[in-house]
Structure 1
Amino acid sequence: MSQFNIYSIPKAPLAAQSLLEGAQQNYGFVPNLLGGLAESPTVLQAYLNLGAILDKTSLTPVERQVVLLSASIENHCAYCVAAHSIIAKHMVKADAAMVNALREQQPLPDKKLDALATFTRAVVKQRGMVVGKALDSFIAAGYSRAQVLEVVLGVTMKTLSNYANHIMHTPLDAQFQAEAWEEPAQCGKQCA
């Protein structure tokens, strides 16, 4: 059970209301994540600002979704995996097979995007201490040193939302239910 509210626009703190109105215009509804972050209008603003800044990077919209999905999967955030699966497939028009491969933690058919997903997972797993082969492979795939830092920005954005979702127990919006995600069992019956 969560100790947090999921605010609607009229019930949100005053400083969060205009931010939630912007989300309503962008998505056609206020995602529960944003309604939960409205508890702290400053955090809500920070999250939205990170997203706006990430949109200005040299990563394409599909590449940004690869980063956001890969980080969310690595952080075990079912809410963000579902939300970004919908965003990737329907808003960004990413290849559904690629999104499904990410969700299933399988290699991506596009080698460059696979290198991006692998590098993003390494950043999360290794808490940013990525050197050697992981970094070299990312650069060898055609990414720049600037894009290394842009991946870190995407991971930062998702760490904020992933951790907040874990703490708030954010319920999945009906709009994201079609892509509900459960992490695949890593070790089968022997772990039970």
Structure 2
Amino acid sequence: MTNFSVHTIETASDDSQPLLEASKQAYGFVPNLHAVMAESPALLEAYKTVADIFDNKTNLSTTEQQIIAMTNNRLNGCTYCMAAHTSIMQAGKVPEDVITSLRDGTAIADPKLEALRLFAEKVNLQRGWLEDGDIEELLAAGYTKQTVFDVIVGTAYKVLSNYTNHIASTPLDRGFAKNEWTPEA
């Protein structure tokens, strides 16, 4: 098995160091995901850029963004991201019932949010090969055509992190350990 480094700011390449410094400024520590991604400055920059775009340039609320992220995390079996995003949702005051539904892959009580969860699930499972009815259901729930494409942004964001964590077996940060998650068999 190939082992990947969990870099520190000091061990990272010159191109990754400022990106890790920015992570430390933003979070108060360098998340292990970023430290692993630092092996490839291109990956780390791409991840941080897409995350920023998803967080700040979509028309989605924090809860809606997390529904997309967590649905992908669960379907992709990413234990690191499930724990990390659970912590993010708790800090962002996402309702506990929504968090539980996302971790378990069960229906969200709010019909609009459930429509978004189901749509994000279809985008992931069907690899974007949607039927008109899939899109119409999302639109009927009160979302827009922009939302269709914003879900793709969120899915791409999670591919970057989920696949990195699978390949590198990224160790869970201590701060996320209380929200450890294991996929169903």
For the superposition of Structure 1 and Structure 2, which TM-score range results when normalised by the shorter chain? over 0.9
TM-score, normalization: structure 1? 0.93
| Structure 2 residue identity aligned to 1:89 | Q
Shift of 1:25: 1.4
Shift of 1:133: 2.8
1:51 is aligned to 51
Shift of 1:127: 0.5
2:29 is aligned to 29
Q: Compared with structure 1, are the counterparts of its residues 34 and 179 closer, same or farther at alpha carbon in structure 2 (3 Å cutoff)? A: same
2:69 is aligned to 68
Q: Compared with structure 1, are the counterparts of its residues 166 and 139 closer, same or farther at alpha carbon in structure 2 (3 Å cutoff)? A: same
Show structure 1 runs of 5+ residues with no match: 186-192
Shift of 1:183: 1.1
| Structure 1 residue identity aligned to 2:32 | N
Is 2:106 the counterpart of 1:88? Answer: no
1:159 is aligned to 159
Matched residues in 1 for 2:144 and 2:2: separation? 41
TM-score, normalization: structure 2? 0.96
Alignment RMSD: 1.0
The size of the alignment, in residue pairs, is 184
1:15 is aligned to 15
| Identity value in percent | 40
Is 2:98 the counterpart of 1:129? Answer: no
1:114 is aligned to 114
**Preserved CA contact (<8 Å) 1:2 1:169:** no
Shift of 1:2: 4.6
